[in-house]
Amino acid sequence: MESKRMVARIWGWALAGVLAVGMTVCVPTISFAQVGGSAPSARDRWEQMSPEQKERMRERLKRWQELEPQQREEVKRKFERFKQLPPEDRERIVTNWKRYRDMSEEERQAVRERYRKWQSLSEEDKRRVRERFQEYRNLSPEQKQVLQEKRKRWQSLPPEQRKEMREEFRRRPPRNP
């Protein structure tokens, strides 16, 4: 049940992003209508779309129709919240959605798994992760490269050796900076 809710949440935000991207077709219409011109009809907008855009719209409509009524309502609520966000947040969501859309199914599965793990963290753990991420972002490119190399070496170790090392690290007293 929890995984169904997680997938529904991901799809909710994803569809809100899709709707937001789809709204880019409507924005010029709204602007045109506001300056006293007549707004192009849906048929006119459809005719102006490329074959790829039309296919994407057909796929979106099909996914929308496959949703349960309560899922549609959730998407609508999220889209309304999306419209209230500052422009930079909306842009970030749309950019992330486009990246997600272009991922392979394997990559999407990894994203869903990371999301599930994130949701299971306590607020304190989430705070610590955010702090560490911010520390990482502040590193120089050279420092990041060193960390990446260490990470690769760590991942190349046998699982049993990594487990032993984790236990050893936990037993050690914290270092002073």
Q: How far apart are CA 18 and CA 72, in angstroms?
A: 13
pLDDT recorded at residue 142: 94
Report how far Cα 24 is from the mean position of its chain's Cα atoms. Answer: 19
pLDDT digits (tens, 9 = 90+) for 108-117: 999 999 999 9
Task: Write down the pLDDT at residue 8.
Answer: 54
- In the chain, DSSP finds a helix count (H) and a strand count (E) of 9, 0
Express each pLDDT in 144-160 by its tens digit. 999 999 999 989 999 99
CA distance 121 to 47: 48
List, for the chain, all residue ranges whose pLDDT scores fall below the cut of 50: 1-2, 21, 23-36
Predicted TM-score (pTM) of this structure: 0.48
